[in-house]
A and B are shown apart, each in its own frame.
Chain A
Amino acid sequence: METRFSRGEIQETFQESHAEIMDQYFRRSLQESRAGRMLFRDRMPFTFVAVGGYGRKELCLRSDVDVLFIFNSKIPSPAKDLAEEVLYPLWDIGLDLGHGIRGIKDCLALAGEDFEVLTSMMDARFICGDSPLFFSLVEQLREKTLSKKARAFAQWLAERDKLRMASFGDASCLLEPNIKEGIGGLRDYHHILWLAKAFFHLRIPRDLEYHGILSHREYRDLEKSVGFIGLVRNHLHRLSERKNDRLTFDQQEKIAGVLGFRDQGDVLAVERFLGKLHADMALVKSLHRSFILTHIPGAGKRTEARSEISVDSATTFVNDPLAMAEVFVESCRYHRPLSLDTKRLIREFLYLVDGKFRRSERATGAFLFVVNHQNAFEALDQMLEIGFLSALIPEFALIRDRVQYDNYHIYPVGRHVLQTLFHLKALGKERDLLLLAILNDLSDPEPLLLASLFHDIGKIGKDHAQKGVLMTRAILKRMGYDKAKADDVLFLVKHHLLLTETATRRDLNDEKIIVQCARTAGSIQRLKMLYLLTWADGRATGPRAWNDWIANLVLELFFKILHTLERGELASPDASRRVKQTLQKVRGEIGDRMTPSELEQHFEAMSPRYLLERKPGEIAGHVLRFKTLRASFTDHPAATFSFETREGFPQGTYEVTFLGRDRPGLFADLAGAMALNNINVLSAHIYTWRDGTVVDIFSVTSPLDPVRSREIWEKVERDLKNTFSGALDLGERLKEKARPSILSRRKKWHWQPEIKIDNQSSDFFTLIEVFAEDRIGLLYQITHALFHLGLDIRIAKIATKKDQVADVFYVRDLDGEKIMDAQREAQIKEALLQSLKQG
């Protein structure tokens, strides 16, 4: 039989047949037993009963088989022989067998003391022997024990539920559930049976329906769900080769296969299997919970303090279906659960939720009220449980029980999105006060709350964020939701992974990455909502997806984007638009001189500042020049550069453009070569692209001798080449040049140069500001000193007004980090001042 079961041939009836085979064995064995015949002859009647799971005819593979020999009063001596005769063969084949030999009185006394014993006795089933004795046991158990101790028993079960929750958790939403002891597991069903026996003297499970404790539909659903869970358990025991109730990942795949689940599109068989199992366990859990609340007076205290929301009669919903949505508003408002009857009514009337219902203002109003309310989680949880949420938003039905096979998610999608909302609602209880401060800054958290419910709605296949946008748009449109707010919701759904993905996979010290995120977010409000959604989504996913380590990275990213948006300079809507226009114009200028993909690669490398500050014509020129240079970059990176000059504006100035490969000290060399030829730098823009290309644009004074300007520029270029190749020592030459001559006395500083170090203005660079009187060679001195301090100059803004300079250098150390060390700051200041004085 086990073989047939393993092939999936017998399914639902397996446990019962298994129990019956065992029954047959016991009957035959007892009839044939010598000790049994002796007892019969001596008129010492006994009854042989099955207890526990075997008693319920739910004999699972490899579970214990528990049996009792019960005598009327004293236990005669042959009883032990009898037990041995009957049980030995079973022990020999390795069955887990539990047995007891007791008198009726002992049985009752034990059951009265120990509720564990009581529950097993409640499941007692007569197998053979003296039947009047059995009925007497059942009768006495009911009169002497159950009716007196029903309340205490109910309380004991409630305690057990708490313990189960603590040790096994909610099986209906765990990915490796304990299908017996977990909440929603078979134990929930047993509790219903035991309570019904204690309070309503129910004999067989079907009585639940006959006595009107459950509706026909509820009983049918319960039977089916319990049947399926039981089936899974048998397969689990078979595959584990022992009684093991924790359904681990490796077993899930095998069981899904045996039970005939198949992959469907992107959804794996095992995901569909677990989805069904979760749905069944959720139903068992839900019926168990409502059964206790409705029928068990022992649950008294709680019921009195927290009455339930209920409707008078079924006609309420028939006459006005929309009242179904409003019941949840009341549940929120008074923070009370719905009564079992009300839940049942809504379940029965779900078919009334049609297109018109979904589009109605009242339904939308009720839904939004619930979402915005502090008690939203409890109300939405009930909506999900009853199926109302899936009826109101049919898109939900697709993901409700969707399970994801990755290492991160511990909940199915439906539960996960509710958890996400839960974390947002419970944010006030977090230790992290920043989150609350951010939430309080939102002018309207509604889009965030809706996005928490809809962010994973597209999880029916790959690319779920994109699919989610389409589905969410349809849902919001149906609801007639405000257009501007809908845009926020759609933004959040679309980008809900942006922060975590960027934080873990991209370089957060790369300004361009941050600027791109800032432009995607577009506004501070949206960024704040996105951050809170990221946090709540992560928390609701599981410990692998969200921990201090990731939280740290996401927080760093959040602040960098926030600062970029606050400064506005690079990521304002205006800046984004201008950059777009610039790119378009550059594409036009380049035309077919470059393949589009090659050009896009260059765009990707350009720094945000460069794209904002340079004109399309210039950019196109740089790109083309770069293209011709690139071939030799790999062979002679230092010697390959382009150096161009043209007369600039205002008159008497020149514009110098240098394009080459970046390396430490490059800027100092450029400044030095010009100083050597008596050219003074008035302003400079230096741009470093991500691929290591440098574009430096200087505005400089004209060479002293305007007639020979061509020659002088050629000399500057030659000096550069020689410096790069090592043939010329700029430092030495400049020193010689600076030696005081009789003609020019060394100019003294009229006032002391001033140096400021600023770490506030940028998340990526330390700003070093230098204020000093202008003179030839000054820029070289500063940049040369910075180079020797191990600082990498990424951006420089050189400005000269009359005879004073105010230079700003954006620097990082060679690790790519800002200078955040007070000692090092002091050292930099000191060294800079020193070098200026020497000059």
Chain B
Amino acid sequence: MKKVEAIIKPFKLDDVKEGLSNLGVKGLTVSEVKGFGRQRGHREVYRGAEYQVDFVSKIKIEVVMEDELVPEAVKVIQEKARTGQIGDGKIFIIPVEDAIRIRTGETGKDAI
């Protein structure tokens, strides 16, 4: 079982969501996140005064899935989050020990 975590641009959310659900992903978590990458924010100057913008707003999606689905899911996210030649964002794949559905107590594959 793996967790696929992707940081994407906000406007790509709908496309990625649609792509993943077409793939049969049952549920995903979306959060509004802020952070910075290589470029550490930037400065805006307005009327001589400087305003520092430290973070960039992005969307983080998290999906837990069975191992077999991972390559497909990564491909879909990559395709959907890209505009032409230009790609943007990151995907992380993290091993998951187990999952438990709170209501029923089901574990593993049944719980995702």
Which A residues, 801 to 828, have Cβ-Cβ distances below 8 Å to chain B? 812, 814-818, 820-821, 824
Known A692-B84, A815-B88, A820-B42; judge A433-B49 contact (CB<8 A).
yes
Q: In the complex the two chains form, what is the Cα distance from A748 to B90 in whole Å?
A: 46
Please tell me which one of the listed residues A441, A506, A547, A818 contacts residue B47 in the complex, with CB atoms under 8 A apart. Answer: A441
Cβ–Cβ contact A663 & B9, under 8 A: no
Q: In the complex the two chains form, what is the Cα distance from A631 to B55 in whole Å?
A: 43
Please tell me which one of the listed residues B10, B40, B83, B85 contacts residue A553 in the complex, with CB atoms under 8 A apart. Answer: B10
Q: In the complex the two chains form, what is the Cα distance from A713 to B24 in whole Å?
A: 53
A271 is an interface residue with CB less than 8 A from chain B = no
The chain B residue sitting closest to A760, CB to CB, is B45
**Shortest distance from the beta carbon of A14 to any chain B beta carbon, whole Å:** 38
B34 is an interface residue with CB less than 8 A from chain A = yes
B111 is an interface residue with CB less than 8 A from chain A = no
Q: In the complex the two chains form, what is the Cα distance from A510 to B9 in whole Å?
A: 13
As a 0/1 sequence over residues 42 to 67 of chain B, the CB contacts with chain A under 8 angstroms (1 = contact) are 10101101010101110000000000
B102 is an interface residue with CB less than 8 A from chain A = no
Known A437-B46, A553-B10; judge A816-B57 contact (CB<8 A).
no
B103 is an interface residue with CB less than 8 A from chain A = no
Cβ–Cβ contact B53 & A815, under 8 A: no
Cβ–Cβ contact A662 & B47, under 8 A: no
B108 is an interface residue with CB less than 8 A from chain A = no
B104 is an interface residue with CB less than 8 A from chain A = no
Q: In the complex the two chains form, what is the Cα distance from A434 to B44 in whole Å?
A: 10
Q: In the complex the two chains form, what is the Cα distance from A662 to B83 in whole Å?
A: 12
**Shortest distance from the beta carbon of A692 to any chain B beta carbon, whole Å:** 5
Cβ–Cβ contact A816 & B86, under 8 A: yes
B42, B57, B84 — most chain A CB neighbours (10 Å): B57
**Shortest distance from the beta carbon of B112 to any chain A beta carbon, whole Å:** 26
Known A437-B47, A816-B83; judge A552-B34 contact (CB<8 A).
yes
As a 0/1 sequence over residues 69 to 91 of chain A, the CB contacts with chain B under 8 angstroms (1 = contact) are 00000000000000000000000
* B39 neighbours in A (Cβ, 8 Å): 817-818, 820-821
* B38 neighbours in A (Cβ, 8 Å): 820-821, 824
The chain A residue sitting closest to B89, CB to CB, is A815
A241 is an interface residue with CB less than 8 A from chain B = no
Known A792-B85, A817-B39; judge A507-B53 contact (CB<8 A).
no
**Shortest distance from the beta carbon of A813 to any chain B beta carbon, whole Å:** 9
**Shortest distance from the beta carbon of A507 to any chain B beta carbon, whole Å:** 5
Which A residues, 470 to 514, have Cβ-Cβ distances below 8 Å to chain B? 503-508, 510
A559 is an interface residue with CB less than 8 A from chain B = yes
Known A507-B9, A549-B34; judge A559-B88 contact (CB<8 A).
no
Cβ–Cβ contact A664 & B11, under 8 A: no
Known A552-B34, A820-B39; judge A507-B57 contact (CB<8 A).
no
The chain B residue sitting closest to A434, CB to CB, is B51
* Residue total for A at the interface (Cβ-Cβ under 8 A): 37
Q: In the complex the two chains form, what is the Cα distance from A507 to B9 in whole Å?
A: 8
The chain A residue sitting closest to B56, CB to CB, is A552
* A824 neighbours in B (Cβ, 8 Å): 38
A368 is an interface residue with CB less than 8 A from chain B = no
* B49 neighbours in A (Cβ, 8 Å): 433-434, 437
As a 0/1 sequence over residues 16 to 34 of chain B, the CB contacts with chain A under 8 angstroms (1 = contact) are 0000000000000000111
* A550 neighbours in B (Cβ, 8 Å): 32, 57
Cβ–Cβ contact A504 & B10, under 8 A: yes
* Residue total for B at the interface (Cβ-Cβ under 8 A): 25
Which A residues, 552 to 611, have Cβ-Cβ distances below 8 Å to chain B? 552-553, 555-556, 559
A143 is an interface residue with CB less than 8 A from chain B = no
Please tell me which one of the listed residues B9, B10, B34, B44 contacts residue A548 in the complex, with CB atoms under 8 A apart. Answer: B34
**Shortest distance from the beta carbon of B99 to any chain A beta carbon, whole Å:** 27
* A555 neighbours in B (Cβ, 8 Å): 44, 53
Q: In the complex the two chains form, what is the Cα distance from A241 to B32 in whole Å?
A: 37
Q: In the complex the two chains form, what is the Cα distance from A510 to B83 in whole Å?
A: 10
Known A505-B11, A506-B11; judge A549-B32 contact (CB<8 A).
yes
Q: In the complex the two chains form, what is the Cα distance from A559 to B47 in whole Å?
A: 12
**Shortest distance from the beta carbon of A820 to any chain B beta carbon, whole Å:** 4
* B84 neighbours in A (Cβ, 8 Å): 662, 690-692
Q: In the complex the two chains form, what is the Cα distance from A817 to B86 in whole Å?
A: 9
**Shortest distance from the beta carbon of A164 to any chain B beta carbon, whole Å:** 33
**Shortest distance from the beta carbon of A524 to any chain B beta carbon, whole Å:** 12
The chain A residue sitting closest to B42, CB to CB, is A820
* A817 neighbours in B (Cβ, 8 Å): 39, 88
Cβ–Cβ contact A504 & B11, under 8 A: yes
Q: In the complex the two chains form, what is the Cα distance from A434 to B52 in whole Å?
A: 11
Cβ–Cβ contact B83 & A815, under 8 A: no
Q: In the complex the two chains form, what is the Cα distance from A555 to B42 in whole Å?
A: 12
* B51 neighbours in A (Cβ, 8 Å): 434
Q: In the complex the two chains form, what is the Cα distance from A638 to B9 in whole Å?
A: 29
The chain A residue sitting closest to B39, CB to CB, is A820
Q: In the complex the two chains form, what is the Cα distance from A692 to B9 in whole Å?
A: 20
* A556 neighbours in B (Cβ, 8 Å): 53
Cβ–Cβ contact A814 & B85, under 8 A: yes
**Shortest distance from the beta carbon of A439 to any chain B beta carbon, whole Å:** 12
Cβ–Cβ contact A815 & B86, under 8 A: yes
Q: In the complex the two chains form, what is the Cα distance from A437 to B85 in whole Å?
A: 40
Cβ–Cβ contact A816 & B88, under 8 A: yes
The chain A residue sitting closest to B58, CB to CB, is A549
**Shortest distance from the beta carbon of B90 to any chain A beta carbon, whole Å:** 10
Which A residues, 509 to 560, have Cβ-Cβ distances below 8 Å to chain B? 510, 547-550, 552-553, 555-556, 559
**Shortest distance from the beta carbon of B61 to any chain A beta carbon, whole Å:** 15
Known A504-B10, A548-B34, A549-B32; judge A812-B86 contact (CB<8 A).
yes
Residues of B bordering A, CB below 8 Å: 9-11, 32-34, 38-40, 42, 44, 46-47, 49, 51, 53, 55-57, 83-88
25 A-B residue pairs with CB within 8 Å: A433-B49, A434-B49, A437-B47, A437-B49, A438-B46, A507-B9, A507-B83, A547-B32, A548-B34, A549-B33, A549-B57, A552-B53, A552-B56, A552-B57, A559-B44, A690-B84, A691-B84, A692-B85, A792-B86, A812-B86, A816-B86, A816-B88, A820-B39, A820-B40, A820-B42
Q: List the 9 closest pairs (A to B, CB-CB), nearest first.
A: A820-B39, A816-B86, A549-B32, A552-B57, A692-B84, A549-B57, A553-B57, A815-B88, A505-B11
- Given known contacts A434-B51, A505-B11, A814-B87, what 19 new A-B pairs fall within 8 Å (CB)? A504-B10, A504-B11, A506-B11, A510-B83, A549-B32, A549-B33, A549-B57, A550-B57, A552-B34, A552-B53, A552-B55, A553-B10, A553-B57, A555-B44, A555-B53, A662-B84, A816-B87, A817-B88, A818-B39
